[in-house]
Amino acid sequence: MRLSQQARDTELTSVGAGPARRTVRVLAAALLLLGACEGETPAPASRIPEALHLNGYEQTFGYSQAVKVGRTVYISATVAADAEGRLVSPGDMAGQLDAVYANLAATLKAEGGGFAQVVMERIYTTDMNALLKVQDRRLAYYGKGQLPATTWVEVRRLVDPGFLVAIEAVVELP
């Protein structure tokens, strides 16, 4: 917090010691307490996490599809699963990638955002070569020049051995 200009000027012009200087300091403190400060920053937004479950199997399995803290949304690794948690497009990297982005779009919409607000995505795959062959499909979801920071990681296995790709994201809502 900063003192108002008047309080600073009063503080600077009082010289000497004793009761007069003490009175000025008490008045300056009173001005602070009464809210006579300039440029005060507002209190930070609530940081209470809000969980989102789009499908029943998420709670049963023990996770949230997304957690929102303030204006930031953390989206769990999203896979090619339907609303009942069943694998979509077995053995088909392109089909799974499309399903993953469709699921991400649903989560983003539920949180009041879209792909323009995605600031970070992490792509996990069990077959990097297959993913690289169809990676251009992901560009259809992002506006020109609005690609998020992205990390690609090849893993031995995802939660279901049939899943070929999973994507997690961090989103900053307007």
Pick left, alpha or beta for residue 91 (phi over 0 → left; psi -120 to 50 → alpha; otherwise beta).
left
Element (DSSP H or E) covering residue 8: helix 5-13
Q: Domain ranges in the chain?
A: 1-42, 50-172
Q: What CATH architecture does domain 50-172 belong to?
A: 2-Layer Sandwich (3.30)
Residues 93 and 137: their CA atoms lie apart, in Å, by 11
Say how far apart CA 1 and CA 19 lie, in whole Å: 25
The most distant pair of C-alpha atoms in the chain lies apart, rounded to whole Å, by 84
Spatial distance between the Cα atoms of 133 and 115, rounded to a whole number of angstroms: 22
d(CA 158, CA 2): 53
Per residue of the chain (174 residues), give pLDDT as tens: 444 444 444 443 444 455 554 444 544 444 444 454 455 555 555 666 666 666 666 566 667 788 889 999 999 999 999 988 899 999 999 999 999 999 999 999 999 999 999 999 999 999 999 999 999 999 999 988 889 999 999 999 999 999 999 999 999 998
User: Tell me, what's the pLDDT at 23?
Assistant: 47
